[in-house]
Chains A and B, each alone.
Chain A
Amino acid sequence: DGGITQSPKYLFRKEGQNVTLSCEQNLNHDAMYWYRQDPGQGLRLIYYSQIVNDFQKGDIAEGYSVSREKKESFPLTVTSAQKNPTAFYLCASSPMGMSNQPQHFGDGTRLSIL
């Protein structure tokens, strides 16, 4: 079955701690995205990558970092600089980046502060 796998489903962070959210896809898609969703809000773009070893900041990149060393993987690190990290994080992919192709989403990771 092709799809996007996000892990863990729930994650708790202590103050001052960095945490990394995993996103893996086996759809052979070139582009991958990270979104943050807060209650009553839409999806806000954190980072996106259109090709391996390249990524661009989205609208709310401050306090986050990413890497794209492999086509299948696009991990997101929530750093201690992100002062309000509690949110639902969604990873998505599409065959090509920033184009007219639909995005496929993972099941998301809910991050909370302890």
Chain B
Amino acid sequence: GQQVMQIPQYQHVQEGEDFTTYCNSSTTLSNIQWYKQRPGGHPVFLIQLVKSGEVKKQKRLTFQFGEAKKNSSLHITATQTTDVGTYFCAGYSTLTFGKGTMLLVSP
């Protein structure tokens, strides 16, 4: 079945540093979604990518979908303490979430 791998599992950065999490699927995806879960909270939808090679930006967040539609990345520029949380990708051919990347930001 479809597998979605997400790396790294955990990352601790200093405020102001950049952060990237990667999502890789064993199969071609029809689309990919990204969610953020704050500590003690529930996942909140961030964005969806559909087209091969698509790049979308939300302020300091940049999302990319690979040309082969099997991988994706989320890059945060100049992290802030409000970025703390776990970031999940969810790949659609069947509905599969990655294990997430937990981001900790120290002031």
Given contacts A42-B6, A45-B95, contact A100 B50 (CB under 8 A): yes
Question: CB distance A103 to B99 under 8 Å?
Answer: no
Question: CB distance A43 to B88 under 8 Å?
Answer: yes
From 62 to 97 in chain B, residues with beta carbon under 8 angstroms from any chain A beta carbon are: 88, 90, 92, 94-97
**Secondary structure type dominating chain A contacts:** loop
Give the residues in chain B near A105, CB-CB below 8 Å: 42-44
Question: CB distance A42 to B44 under 8 Å?
Answer: no
Give A residues with C-beta under 8 Å from B: 33, 35, 40-45, 48, 58-59, 90, 92, 98-100, 102-108
Give B residues with C-beta under 8 Å from A: 1, 4, 6, 9, 30-31, 33, 41-45, 48, 50, 88, 90, 92, 94-100
